A and B are shown apart, each in its own frame.
Chain A
Amino acid sequence: MSTLITWLRDPNPASRMQSRLGQSYLSWLRLRRNALAMIGLTISLALIFIAIFAPILAPHDPITQELSRRLLPPGTPGNVLGTDDFGRDILSRILYGSRITLYIVMLVILTAPVVGLIIGTVAGYFGGWVDTVLMRITDIFLAFPKLILALALVAVLGPGMVNAVLAIALTSWPPYARVARAETLTVRNSDYIAAVKLQGAGPIRIIWGHVIPMCLPSVIIRVTLDMAGVILTAAGLGFLGLGVQPPLPEWGLMISAGRKFLFEQWWVATMPGLAIFIVSLGFNLLGDGLRDVLDPKSASK
Protein backbone atom coordinates (compact mmCIF):
# COMPACT_ATOMS: atom_id res chain seq x y z
CA MET A 1 0.00 0.00 0.00
CA SER A 2 2.71 2.47 0.96
CA THR A 3 4.69 1.64 -2.17
CA LEU A 4 1.57 2.37 -4.20
CA ILE A 5 1.23 5.77 -2.55
CA THR A 6 4.88 6.66 -3.18
CA TRP A 7 4.35 5.60 -6.78
CA LEU A 8 1.30 7.84 -7.02
CA ARG A 9 3.05 10.79 -5.43
CA ASP A 10 6.22 10.46 -7.49
CA PRO A 11 6.98 13.99 -8.69
CA ASN A 12 8.56 12.57 -11.84
CA PRO A 13 6.10 10.07 -13.25
CA ALA A 14 7.49 7.63 -15.78
CA SER A 15 4.39 7.35 -17.91
CA ARG A 16 1.24 9.15 -18.93
CA MET A 17 -0.76 6.68 -16.88
CA GLN A 18 1.22 7.23 -13.69
CA SER A 19 1.01 10.98 -14.02
CA ARG A 20 -2.73 10.88 -14.57
CA LEU A 21 -3.28 8.50 -11.66
CA GLY A 22 -1.05 10.66 -9.48
CA GLN A 23 -3.19 13.70 -10.23
CA SER A 24 -6.37 11.75 -9.54
CA TYR A 25 -4.88 10.64 -6.23
CA LEU A 26 -4.27 14.26 -5.22
CA SER A 27 -7.83 15.16 -6.21
CA TRP A 28 -9.06 12.25 -4.14
CA LEU A 29 -7.12 13.49 -1.13
CA ARG A 30 -8.71 16.90 -1.58
CA LEU A 31 -12.18 15.38 -1.92
CA ARG A 32 -11.63 13.21 1.14
CA ARG A 33 -11.19 16.30 3.30
CA ASN A 34 -14.76 17.33 2.56
CA ALA A 35 -16.99 15.26 4.88
CA LEU A 36 -20.26 16.16 3.14
CA ALA A 37 -18.85 15.20 -0.25
CA MET A 38 -17.83 11.84 1.18
CA ILE A 39 -21.41 11.28 2.39
CA GLY A 40 -22.59 12.14 -1.12
CA LEU A 41 -20.07 9.77 -2.66
CA THR A 42 -21.11 6.97 -0.28
CA ILE A 43 -24.76 7.43 -1.21
CA SER A 44 -23.99 7.43 -4.93
CA LEU A 45 -21.82 4.32 -4.62
CA ALA A 46 -24.52 2.64 -2.51
CA LEU A 47 -27.06 3.35 -5.27
CA ILE A 48 -24.80 1.65 -7.82
CA PHE A 49 -24.15 -1.28 -5.46
CA ILE A 50 -27.86 -1.76 -4.75
CA ALA A 51 -28.74 -1.53 -8.43
CA ILE A 52 -26.22 -4.26 -9.30
CA PHE A 53 -27.17 -6.61 -6.47
CA ALA A 54 -30.92 -5.89 -6.30
CA PRO A 55 -31.91 -9.54 -6.99
CA ILE A 56 -29.75 -10.73 -4.09
CA LEU A 57 -30.67 -7.96 -1.68
CA ALA A 58 -34.41 -7.90 -2.32
CA PRO A 59 -36.41 -10.30 -0.08
CA HIS A 60 -39.34 -10.57 -2.52
CA ASP A 61 -40.11 -10.40 -6.20
CA PRO A 62 -40.99 -6.75 -7.00
CA ILE A 63 -43.80 -7.54 -9.42
CA THR A 64 -45.59 -10.64 -8.08
CA GLN A 65 -48.83 -9.61 -6.43
CA GLU A 66 -50.09 -11.12 -3.18
CA LEU A 67 -53.44 -9.58 -2.49
CA SER A 68 -53.86 -11.24 0.91
CA ARG A 69 -50.94 -9.18 2.21
CA ARG A 70 -51.92 -5.79 0.81
CA LEU A 71 -51.19 -2.49 2.58
CA LEU A 72 -49.32 -3.94 5.52
CA PRO A 73 -47.57 -1.27 7.67
CA PRO A 74 -43.76 -1.00 7.97
CA GLY A 75 -42.22 -3.37 10.48
CA THR A 76 -44.37 -6.33 9.52
CA PRO A 77 -42.22 -9.50 9.63
CA GLY A 78 -41.10 -10.24 6.07
CA ASN A 79 -42.04 -6.77 4.82
CA VAL A 80 -39.76 -4.31 6.61
CA LEU A 81 -41.11 -1.25 4.79
CA GLY A 82 -44.63 -2.61 4.43
CA THR A 83 -46.54 -3.56 1.28
CA ASP A 84 -48.49 -1.62 -1.32
CA ASP A 85 -52.07 -1.99 -2.54
CA PHE A 86 -51.23 -5.12 -4.56
CA GLY A 87 -49.40 -6.76 -1.63
CA ARG A 88 -45.95 -6.19 -3.20
CA ASP A 89 -43.03 -5.68 -0.83
CA ILE A 90 -42.11 -1.95 -0.88
CA LEU A 91 -38.47 -2.55 0.10
CA SER A 92 -37.97 -4.94 -2.81
CA ARG A 93 -39.65 -2.52 -5.19
CA ILE A 94 -37.42 0.34 -4.01
CA LEU A 95 -34.31 -1.84 -4.40
CA TYR A 96 -35.29 -2.86 -7.92
CA GLY A 97 -36.41 0.68 -8.64
CA SER A 98 -32.84 1.85 -8.11
CA ARG A 99 -31.97 0.02 -11.34
CA ILE A 100 -34.47 2.09 -13.29
CA THR A 101 -33.33 5.29 -11.62
CA LEU A 102 -29.70 4.49 -12.34
CA TYR A 103 -30.52 3.52 -15.91
CA ILE A 104 -32.29 6.83 -16.53
CA VAL A 105 -29.51 8.80 -14.84
CA MET A 106 -26.82 7.01 -16.85
CA LEU A 107 -28.54 7.53 -20.17
CA VAL A 108 -29.07 11.20 -19.46
CA ILE A 109 -25.43 11.61 -18.36
CA LEU A 110 -24.27 10.00 -21.58
CA THR A 111 -26.36 12.21 -23.84
CA ALA A 112 -27.28 15.66 -22.53
CA PRO A 113 -23.83 16.89 -21.35
CA VAL A 114 -22.18 15.61 -24.53
CA VAL A 115 -24.63 17.49 -26.73
CA GLY A 116 -24.37 20.55 -24.51
CA LEU A 117 -20.56 20.48 -24.49
CA ILE A 118 -20.29 20.23 -28.26
CA ILE A 119 -22.86 22.95 -28.95
CA GLY A 120 -21.45 25.26 -26.27
CA THR A 121 -17.79 24.92 -27.22
CA VAL A 122 -18.48 25.25 -30.94
CA ALA A 123 -20.60 28.36 -30.34
CA GLY A 124 -18.05 29.88 -27.99
CA TYR A 125 -15.02 29.07 -30.11
CA PHE A 126 -16.29 30.31 -33.45
CA GLY A 127 -18.39 33.20 -32.18
CA GLY A 128 -20.16 35.38 -34.74
CA TRP A 129 -23.20 34.00 -36.48
CA VAL A 130 -22.48 30.39 -35.44
CA ASP A 131 -22.69 31.54 -31.83
CA THR A 132 -25.86 33.55 -32.47
CA VAL A 133 -27.69 30.67 -34.18
CA LEU A 134 -26.67 28.00 -31.66
CA MET A 135 -27.36 30.16 -28.62
CA ARG A 136 -30.80 31.27 -29.87
CA ILE A 137 -31.71 27.58 -30.28
CA THR A 138 -30.48 27.03 -26.74
CA ASP A 139 -32.55 29.98 -25.55
CA ILE A 140 -35.66 28.51 -27.13
CA PHE A 141 -35.17 25.27 -25.20
CA LEU A 142 -34.43 27.19 -22.02
CA ALA A 143 -37.57 29.27 -22.40
CA PHE A 144 -39.84 26.29 -21.64
CA PRO A 145 -40.20 24.87 -18.16
CA LYS A 146 -38.35 21.54 -18.20
CA LEU A 147 -41.22 19.31 -17.17
CA ILE A 148 -43.67 20.93 -19.59
CA LEU A 149 -41.30 20.43 -22.51
CA ALA A 150 -40.63 16.84 -21.43
CA LEU A 151 -44.39 16.28 -21.18
CA ALA A 152 -44.92 17.62 -24.67
CA LEU A 153 -42.17 15.40 -26.06
CA VAL A 154 -43.48 12.28 -24.32
CA ALA A 155 -46.98 13.10 -25.50
CA VAL A 156 -45.69 13.11 -29.07
CA LEU A 157 -43.37 10.10 -28.75
CA GLY A 158 -45.68 8.03 -26.53
CA PRO A 159 -45.07 6.99 -22.91
CA GLY A 160 -42.25 4.61 -21.95
CA MET A 161 -38.89 4.57 -20.28
CA VAL A 162 -36.72 5.22 -23.35
CA ASN A 163 -38.91 8.06 -24.50
CA ALA A 164 -38.85 9.54 -21.03
CA VAL A 165 -35.04 9.47 -21.04
CA LEU A 166 -35.01 11.03 -24.49
CA ALA A 167 -37.36 13.77 -23.34
CA ILE A 168 -35.27 14.50 -20.25
CA ALA A 169 -32.04 14.54 -22.25
CA LEU A 170 -33.54 16.89 -24.84
CA THR A 171 -34.65 19.29 -22.15
CA SER A 172 -31.53 19.25 -20.01
CA TRP A 173 -28.70 19.98 -22.49
CA PRO A 174 -29.15 23.78 -22.77
CA PRO A 175 -27.65 24.62 -19.35
CA TYR A 176 -24.56 22.56 -20.24
CA ALA A 177 -24.23 24.41 -23.52
CA ARG A 178 -24.39 27.70 -21.61
CA VAL A 179 -21.75 26.62 -19.10
CA ALA A 180 -19.47 25.26 -21.82
CA ARG A 181 -19.82 28.40 -23.90
CA ALA A 182 -19.02 30.69 -20.98
CA GLU A 183 -15.95 28.61 -20.17
CA THR A 184 -14.89 28.55 -23.83
CA LEU A 185 -15.09 32.33 -24.05
CA THR A 186 -12.57 32.68 -21.23
CA VAL A 187 -10.28 29.99 -22.67
CA ARG A 188 -10.52 31.08 -26.30
CA ASN A 189 -8.22 34.08 -26.03
CA SER A 190 -5.65 32.47 -23.76
CA ASP A 191 -2.04 32.17 -24.80
CA TYR A 192 -2.04 28.39 -24.86
CA ILE A 193 -4.81 28.37 -27.44
CA ALA A 194 -2.91 31.02 -29.43
CA ALA A 195 0.18 28.82 -29.22
CA VAL A 196 -1.55 25.73 -30.59
CA LYS A 197 -3.21 27.82 -33.32
CA LEU A 198 0.22 29.07 -34.26
CA GLN A 199 1.40 25.48 -34.57
CA GLY A 200 -1.16 25.07 -37.30
CA ALA A 201 -3.89 23.14 -35.45
CA GLY A 202 -7.37 23.17 -36.96
CA PRO A 203 -10.55 24.08 -35.09
CA ILE A 204 -11.60 20.47 -34.45
CA ARG A 205 -8.29 19.61 -32.80
CA ILE A 206 -8.34 22.80 -30.75
CA ILE A 207 -11.91 22.34 -29.55
CA TRP A 208 -11.57 18.64 -28.82
CA GLY A 209 -8.05 18.55 -27.41
CA HIS A 210 -7.65 21.95 -25.83
CA VAL A 211 -10.98 23.64 -25.14
CA ILE A 212 -13.14 20.72 -23.99
CA PRO A 213 -10.70 19.58 -21.26
CA MET A 214 -11.01 23.04 -19.74
CA CYS A 215 -14.82 23.02 -19.89
CA LEU A 216 -15.19 19.47 -18.61
CA PRO A 217 -14.83 20.16 -14.86
CA SER A 218 -17.56 22.79 -14.75
CA VAL A 219 -19.83 20.58 -16.84
CA ILE A 220 -19.19 17.56 -14.60
CA ILE A 221 -20.02 19.64 -11.53
CA ARG A 222 -23.16 20.89 -13.20
CA VAL A 223 -24.12 17.31 -14.13
CA THR A 224 -23.84 15.99 -10.58
CA LEU A 225 -25.82 18.96 -9.30
CA ASP A 226 -28.47 18.31 -11.98
CA MET A 227 -28.72 14.58 -11.26
CA ALA A 228 -31.22 15.28 -8.51
CA GLY A 229 -33.30 17.26 -10.99
CA VAL A 230 -33.13 14.43 -13.53
CA ILE A 231 -34.30 11.90 -10.97
CA LEU A 232 -37.13 14.23 -9.99
CA THR A 233 -38.16 14.87 -13.59
CA ALA A 234 -38.13 11.13 -14.27
CA ALA A 235 -40.18 10.59 -11.12
CA GLY A 236 -42.48 13.40 -12.17
CA LEU A 237 -43.08 11.81 -15.55
CA GLY A 238 -43.62 8.48 -13.81
CA PHE A 239 -46.03 10.14 -11.38
CA LEU A 240 -48.02 11.55 -14.28
CA GLY A 241 -48.08 8.13 -15.94
CA LEU A 242 -45.98 9.25 -18.91
CA GLY A 243 -42.70 7.63 -18.01
CA VAL A 244 -42.04 4.09 -17.00
CA GLN A 245 -45.20 1.98 -17.20
CA PRO A 246 -46.64 -0.26 -14.46
CA PRO A 247 -45.94 -2.76 -13.10
CA LEU A 248 -42.27 -1.76 -13.25
CA PRO A 249 -41.12 -0.44 -9.85
CA GLU A 250 -40.18 3.11 -10.73
CA TRP A 251 -40.04 5.43 -7.71
CA GLY A 252 -42.17 8.24 -9.11
CA LEU A 253 -44.74 5.76 -10.27
CA MET A 254 -44.82 4.21 -6.79
CA ILE A 255 -45.48 7.60 -5.22
CA SER A 256 -48.25 8.15 -7.72
CA ALA A 257 -49.82 4.81 -6.81
CA GLY A 258 -49.56 5.55 -3.09
CA ARG A 259 -51.22 8.93 -3.46
CA LYS A 260 -54.69 7.29 -3.13
CA PHE A 261 -53.88 6.03 0.38
CA LEU A 262 -51.71 8.89 1.51
CA PHE A 263 -53.72 9.59 4.65
CA GLU A 264 -54.46 6.02 5.77
CA GLN A 265 -51.42 4.09 4.50
CA TRP A 266 -48.78 6.86 4.39
CA TRP A 267 -45.84 4.51 3.86
CA VAL A 268 -46.81 3.50 0.36
CA ALA A 269 -45.95 6.94 -1.00
CA THR A 270 -43.46 8.01 1.67
CA MET A 271 -40.93 5.18 1.29
CA PRO A 272 -40.11 5.75 -2.40
CA GLY A 273 -40.25 9.48 -1.68
CA LEU A 274 -37.52 9.01 0.91
CA ALA A 275 -35.48 7.01 -1.59
CA ILE A 276 -35.68 9.87 -4.11
CA PHE A 277 -34.81 12.35 -1.38
CA ILE A 278 -31.72 10.43 -0.22
CA VAL A 279 -30.36 9.80 -3.71
CA SER A 280 -30.94 13.41 -4.82
CA LEU A 281 -29.25 14.68 -1.69
CA GLY A 282 -26.31 12.33 -2.29
CA PHE A 283 -25.73 13.62 -5.82
CA ASN A 284 -26.04 17.23 -4.66
CA LEU A 285 -23.48 16.78 -1.89
CA LEU A 286 -21.12 15.01 -4.26
CA GLY A 287 -21.52 17.80 -6.81
CA ASP A 288 -20.70 20.43 -4.22
CA GLY A 289 -17.58 18.55 -3.19
CA LEU A 290 -16.48 18.02 -6.79
CA ARG A 291 -16.82 21.72 -7.40
CA ASP A 292 -14.07 22.32 -4.84
CA VAL A 293 -11.84 19.63 -6.30
CA LEU A 294 -12.34 20.07 -10.03
CA ASP A 295 -12.99 23.75 -10.43
CA PRO A 296 -10.21 24.89 -12.75
CA LYS A 297 -10.06 28.23 -10.96
CA SER A 298 -9.13 26.62 -7.68
CA ALA A 299 -7.08 23.76 -9.14
CA SER A 300 -4.86 25.98 -11.23
CA LYS A 301 -3.59 27.86 -8.20
Chain B
Amino acid sequence: MLIEIENLSVTFTAHGRQVRAVENVSLNVKAQESFGLVGESGSGKSTILRAICGLAPISGGSIRINGKPITHNRAFSRQVQMVFQDPYASLHPRHTLDRTLSEPLAIHGLPLTDAAITKALTDVGLPPNFRFRYPHQLSGGQRQRVAIARALMLQPEILLLDEPTSALDASVQAETLNLLSRLRAERGLTFLMVSHDLAVIDHMCDRILVMQHGRAVEELTRDALATAQMKTEYARSLFAASADRMLEG
Protein backbone atom coordinates (compact mmCIF):
# COMPACT_ATOMS: atom_id res chain seq x y z
CA MET B 1 0.00 0.00 0.00
CA LEU B 2 1.34 3.38 -0.96
CA ILE B 3 -0.97 5.50 1.20
CA GLU B 4 -2.34 4.11 4.44
CA ILE B 5 -4.70 6.22 6.48
CA GLU B 6 -5.82 4.72 9.73
CA ASN B 7 -8.56 6.07 12.02
CA LEU B 8 -7.78 9.62 10.99
CA SER B 9 -9.49 12.40 12.94
CA VAL B 10 -9.15 16.10 12.31
CA THR B 11 -10.45 18.62 14.84
CA PHE B 12 -10.50 22.36 14.25
CA THR B 13 -10.74 24.78 17.14
CA ALA B 14 -12.69 27.89 16.24
CA HIS B 15 -13.67 30.50 18.82
CA GLY B 16 -13.16 28.01 21.64
CA ARG B 17 -15.50 25.51 20.00
CA GLN B 18 -14.19 22.22 18.69
CA VAL B 19 -15.35 21.08 15.30
CA ARG B 20 -14.58 17.51 14.27
CA ALA B 21 -14.21 17.71 10.51
CA VAL B 22 -13.05 14.12 10.07
CA GLU B 23 -13.77 11.24 12.43
CA ASN B 24 -12.08 7.85 12.36
CA VAL B 25 -11.65 7.53 8.63
CA SER B 26 -9.44 4.77 7.28
CA LEU B 27 -8.46 4.14 3.69
CA ASN B 28 -5.69 2.54 1.68
CA VAL B 29 -4.46 3.43 -1.76
CA LYS B 30 -2.24 1.12 -3.81
CA ALA B 31 0.57 2.46 -5.96
CA GLN B 32 -0.68 3.69 -9.36
CA GLU B 33 -4.25 3.37 -8.23
CA SER B 34 -6.83 6.13 -8.49
CA PHE B 35 -8.91 6.50 -5.36
CA GLY B 36 -11.94 8.78 -5.06
CA LEU B 37 -13.49 10.53 -2.08
CA VAL B 38 -17.02 11.68 -2.69
CA GLY B 39 -19.47 13.55 -0.50
CA GLU B 40 -21.34 16.81 -0.10
CA SER B 41 -19.97 19.99 1.40
CA GLY B 42 -18.94 19.54 5.01
CA SER B 43 -18.36 15.82 4.61
CA GLY B 44 -14.66 16.26 5.40
CA LYS B 45 -13.40 14.91 2.10
CA SER B 46 -11.15 17.87 1.31
CA THR B 47 -9.96 17.99 4.90
CA ILE B 48 -8.42 14.54 4.48
CA LEU B 49 -6.28 15.83 1.60
CA ARG B 50 -5.30 18.89 3.58
CA ALA B 51 -4.39 16.70 6.55
CA ILE B 52 -2.06 14.66 4.34
CA CYS B 53 -0.37 17.89 3.27
CA GLY B 54 -0.06 19.18 6.81
CA LEU B 55 -2.56 21.97 6.16
CA ALA B 56 -5.08 20.64 8.70
CA PRO B 57 -4.47 19.62 12.32
CA ILE B 58 -4.51 15.84 12.85
CA SER B 59 -6.03 15.00 16.22
CA GLY B 60 -5.95 11.24 16.01
CA GLY B 61 -4.94 8.28 13.90
CA SER B 62 -2.07 8.03 11.48
CA ILE B 63 -1.12 8.63 7.87
CA ARG B 64 1.65 6.53 6.37
CA ILE B 65 3.19 6.71 2.93
CA ASN B 66 5.26 3.74 1.80
CA GLY B 67 4.87 2.38 5.33
CA LYS B 68 6.52 5.40 6.94
CA PRO B 69 4.66 7.99 9.00
CA ILE B 70 4.63 11.26 7.06
CA THR B 71 6.91 14.15 7.91
CA HIS B 72 6.39 17.41 6.07
CA ASN B 73 9.88 18.03 4.78
CA ARG B 74 11.30 18.65 1.32
CA ALA B 75 11.43 14.95 0.50
CA PHE B 76 7.70 14.81 1.16
CA SER B 77 7.04 17.60 -1.33
CA ARG B 78 8.89 15.63 -4.00
CA GLN B 79 6.64 12.70 -3.31
CA VAL B 80 3.20 14.30 -2.85
CA GLN B 81 1.73 17.31 -4.60
CA MET B 82 -1.75 18.77 -4.72
CA VAL B 83 -4.05 20.45 -7.24
CA PHE B 84 -6.54 22.79 -5.64
CA GLN B 85 -10.19 23.36 -6.44
CA ASP B 86 -10.26 26.99 -7.44
CA PRO B 87 -7.80 27.78 -10.22
CA TYR B 88 -8.46 31.47 -9.62
CA ALA B 89 -7.14 31.24 -6.06
CA SER B 90 -4.35 28.72 -6.39
CA LEU B 91 -2.01 30.70 -8.64
CA HIS B 92 -0.18 33.73 -7.31
CA PRO B 93 -1.84 36.69 -9.06
CA ARG B 94 1.40 38.66 -9.34
CA HIS B 95 3.66 35.92 -10.63
CA THR B 96 4.03 35.02 -14.29
CA LEU B 97 3.60 31.37 -15.25
CA ASP B 98 7.36 31.27 -15.65
CA ARG B 99 7.84 32.26 -12.01
CA THR B 100 5.09 29.93 -10.79
CA LEU B 101 6.60 26.95 -12.57
CA SER B 102 10.23 27.68 -11.73
CA GLU B 103 9.54 28.26 -8.03
CA PRO B 104 9.46 24.52 -7.12
CA LEU B 105 12.74 23.96 -8.96
CA ALA B 106 14.32 26.92 -7.21
CA ILE B 107 13.14 25.74 -3.79
CA HIS B 108 14.72 22.34 -4.30
CA GLY B 109 17.85 23.71 -5.93
CA LEU B 110 17.17 21.79 -9.12
CA PRO B 111 18.61 23.00 -12.43
CA LEU B 112 16.40 25.74 -13.78
CA THR B 113 16.38 25.61 -17.57
CA ASP B 114 14.22 27.19 -20.25
CA ALA B 115 13.60 23.73 -21.63
CA ALA B 116 12.17 22.49 -18.33
CA ILE B 117 9.58 25.27 -18.22
CA THR B 118 8.67 24.91 -21.88
CA LYS B 119 8.27 21.18 -21.50
CA ALA B 120 6.10 21.59 -18.42
CA LEU B 121 3.80 23.88 -20.39
CA THR B 122 3.58 21.67 -23.47
CA ASP B 123 3.02 18.55 -21.32
CA VAL B 124 -0.24 20.03 -20.05
CA GLY B 125 -1.23 21.25 -23.49
CA LEU B 126 -0.37 24.92 -23.18
CA PRO B 127 1.59 26.75 -25.89
CA PRO B 128 5.14 27.71 -24.83
CA ASN B 129 4.51 31.36 -25.61
CA PHE B 130 2.17 31.52 -22.59
CA ARG B 131 5.28 31.39 -20.44
CA PHE B 132 5.36 35.04 -19.42
CA ARG B 133 1.65 35.55 -19.04
CA TYR B 134 0.00 36.37 -15.75
CA PRO B 135 -2.82 34.18 -14.39
CA HIS B 136 -5.43 36.86 -15.07
CA GLN B 137 -4.60 36.59 -18.77
CA LEU B 138 -5.71 32.94 -18.76
CA SER B 139 -9.08 31.22 -18.71
CA GLY B 140 -10.09 28.98 -15.83
CA GLY B 141 -9.21 25.80 -17.69
CA GLN B 142 -5.80 27.14 -18.70
CA ARG B 143 -5.11 28.14 -15.10
CA GLN B 144 -5.97 24.67 -13.89
CA ARG B 145 -3.54 23.28 -16.46
CA VAL B 146 -0.85 25.53 -15.02
CA ALA B 147 -1.70 24.31 -11.52
CA ILE B 148 -1.34 20.71 -12.73
CA ALA B 149 1.96 21.55 -14.42
CA ARG B 150 3.20 23.13 -11.20
CA ALA B 151 2.23 20.08 -9.18
CA LEU B 152 4.18 17.87 -11.60
CA MET B 153 7.35 20.02 -11.64
CA LEU B 154 8.86 17.99 -8.79
CA GLN B 155 7.80 14.70 -10.39
CA PRO B 156 5.82 13.37 -7.43
CA GLU B 157 4.41 9.85 -7.25
CA ILE B 158 1.17 10.95 -5.63
CA LEU B 159 -1.15 13.65 -6.83
CA LEU B 160 -3.89 14.86 -4.48
CA LEU B 161 -6.73 16.36 -6.49
CA ASP B 162 -9.17 18.54 -4.59
CA GLU B 163 -12.21 19.06 -6.82
CA PRO B 164 -9.91 19.84 -9.74
CA THR B 165 -12.72 20.50 -12.21
CA SER B 166 -15.69 21.72 -10.18
CA ALA B 167 -14.94 25.37 -10.94
CA LEU B 168 -14.69 24.70 -14.66
CA ASP B 169 -17.17 24.59 -17.53
CA ALA B 170 -18.36 21.17 -18.69
CA SER B 171 -16.31 21.16 -21.89
CA VAL B 172 -13.22 22.35 -20.05
CA GLN B 173 -13.86 19.77 -17.35
CA ALA B 174 -13.78 17.06 -20.02
CA GLU B 175 -10.46 18.35 -21.37
CA THR B 176 -8.96 18.59 -17.88
CA LEU B 177 -10.09 15.11 -16.90
CA ASN B 178 -8.65 13.73 -20.15
CA LEU B 179 -5.38 15.50 -19.41
CA LEU B 180 -5.25 14.04 -15.89
CA SER B 181 -5.98 10.53 -17.17
CA ARG B 182 -3.28 10.86 -19.82
CA LEU B 183 -0.69 12.13 -17.34
CA ARG B 184 -1.52 9.32 -14.92
CA ALA B 185 -1.04 6.71 -17.63
CA GLU B 186 2.20 8.30 -18.89
CA ARG B 187 3.82 8.81 -15.54
CA GLY B 188 2.30 6.06 -13.43
CA LEU B 189 0.87 8.50 -10.93
CA THR B 190 -1.26 7.62 -7.93
CA PHE B 191 -4.37 9.79 -7.60
CA LEU B 192 -6.32 10.57 -4.48
CA MET B 193 -9.18 12.60 -5.82
CA VAL B 194 -11.98 14.48 -4.11
CA SER B 195 -15.20 15.54 -5.76
CA HIS B 196 -18.85 16.16 -5.04
CA ASP B 197 -19.69 14.88 -8.51
CA LEU B 198 -20.21 11.14 -8.51
CA ALA B 199 -19.98 10.95 -12.29
CA VAL B 200 -16.56 12.60 -12.34
CA ILE B 201 -15.29 10.33 -9.58
CA ASP B 202 -16.69 7.32 -11.37
CA HIS B 203 -14.96 8.32 -14.58
CA MET B 204 -11.59 8.80 -12.89
CA CYS B 205 -11.35 6.36 -10.00
CA ASP B 206 -11.04 2.61 -9.41
CA ARG B 207 -12.33 2.68 -5.87
CA ILE B 208 -14.56 5.19 -4.14
CA LEU B 209 -15.19 6.13 -0.53
CA VAL B 210 -18.49 7.88 0.17
CA MET B 211 -18.33 10.31 3.08
CA GLN B 212 -20.91 12.21 5.10
CA HIS B 213 -20.53 14.53 8.11
CA GLY B 214 -16.83 13.66 8.49
CA ARG B 215 -17.36 9.89 8.57
CA ALA B 216 -16.82 7.20 6.01
CA VAL B 217 -20.17 5.84 4.86
CA GLU B 218 -19.33 3.18 2.34
CA GLU B 219 -16.49 2.04 0.12
CA LEU B 220 -17.48 1.07 -3.40
CA THR B 221 -15.68 -0.40 -6.36
CA ARG B 222 -16.33 1.09 -9.74
CA ASP B 223 -18.38 -1.91 -10.80
CA ALA B 224 -20.57 -1.72 -7.73
CA LEU B 225 -21.31 1.91 -8.53
CA ALA B 226 -22.09 1.27 -12.17
CA THR B 227 -24.59 -1.41 -11.24
CA ALA B 228 -26.00 0.66 -8.36
CA GLN B 229 -25.07 -1.92 -5.72
CA MET B 230 -24.87 0.38 -2.73
CA LYS B 231 -25.46 -0.91 0.73
CA THR B 232 -26.23 2.37 2.48
CA GLU B 233 -29.15 4.70 2.06
CA TYR B 234 -26.96 7.77 1.80
CA ALA B 235 -24.84 6.45 -1.03
CA ARG B 236 -28.00 5.53 -2.85
CA SER B 237 -29.53 9.00 -2.45
CA LEU B 238 -26.29 10.57 -3.67
CA PHE B 239 -26.37 8.28 -6.65
CA ALA B 240 -30.00 9.16 -7.36
CA ALA B 241 -29.41 12.89 -7.13
CA SER B 242 -26.34 12.82 -9.32
CA ALA B 243 -26.73 15.11 -12.30
CA ASP B 244 -26.17 12.20 -14.60
CA ARG B 245 -29.45 10.60 -13.57
CA MET B 246 -31.48 13.71 -14.10
CA LEU B 247 -32.19 13.38 -17.78
CA GLU B 248 -33.56 9.88 -17.55
CA GLY B 249 -35.64 10.73 -14.47
Contact = CB atoms under 8 A, between A and B. Distances in A.
A198 B74 CA distance: 9
Nearest to A214: B94
Contacts of B153: 199
B103 A13 contact: no
A191 B84 contact: yes
A251 to B, nearest CB: 37
Interface stretch (A14-22, A100-108, A112-120): A14-22
Interface string A183-209: 000000011101111111100010001
A15 B90 contact: no
Given A199-B104, A200-B107, A213-B94, A19 B89 contact: no
Interface string A4-33: 000000011111101100010000000000
B130 A191 contact: no
B133 interface: yes
Contacts of A192: 89-93
Contacts of A18: 132
Interface in B78-96: 78, 80-82, 84-86, 89-96
B133 to A, nearest CB: 7
A193 B25 CA distance: 27
Nearest to A199: B104
B76 to A, nearest CB: 8
Interface residues of A, number: 28
Given A13-B132, A13-B133, A14-B132, A199 B53 contact: no
A199 B84 contact: no
A15 B117 CA distance: 13
A191 B86 contact: yes
A201 B132 contact: no
Interface in B91-149: 91-96, 98-99, 103-104, 107-108, 127, 129-130, 132-134, 136-137, 147
A190 to B, nearest CB: 6
B107 A195 contact: no
Contacts of A196: 92, 103, 107
A14 B81 CA distance: 29
What's the interface size class on B, roughly? 35 or more
Nearest to A202: B107
Contacts of B81: 198-199
A210 B133 contact: no
Contacts of A210: 92, 95
Contact of A198 (B82, B92, B130, B133): B82
Interface in A163-193: 190-192
Contact of A194 (B53, B95, B134): B53
Given A195-B150, A300-B136, A200 B74 contact: yes
A16 B99 CA distance: 9
A13 B80 CA distance: 32
B159 to A, nearest CB: 12
A147 B175 CA distance: 62
B77 interface: yes
A296 interface: yes
B219 to A, nearest CB: 27
Contacts of A197: 55
Interface in A39-91: none
Contacts of A198: 53, 55, 77, 80-82
Contact of A191 (B78, B90, B137): B90
B222 to A, nearest CB: 29
A199 B89 CA distance: 17
A299 B55 CA distance: 28
A14 B129 contact: yes
A-B complex: 9 closest residue pairs judged by Cβ atoms: A19-B132, A200-B77, A191-B90, A12-B129, A200-B74, A13-B132, A191-B84, A199-B104, A192-B92
Interface of B: 53, 55, 73-74, 76-78, 80-82, 84-86, 89-96, 98-99, 103-104, 107-108, 127, 129-130, 132-134, 136-137, 147, 150, 153-154
8 contacts: A16-B96, A23-B134, A192-B91, A192-B93, A196-B103, A198-B82, A200-B78, A214-B93
Interface of A: 11-16, 18-19, 23, 190-192, 194-201, 205, 209-210, 213-214, 296, 299-300
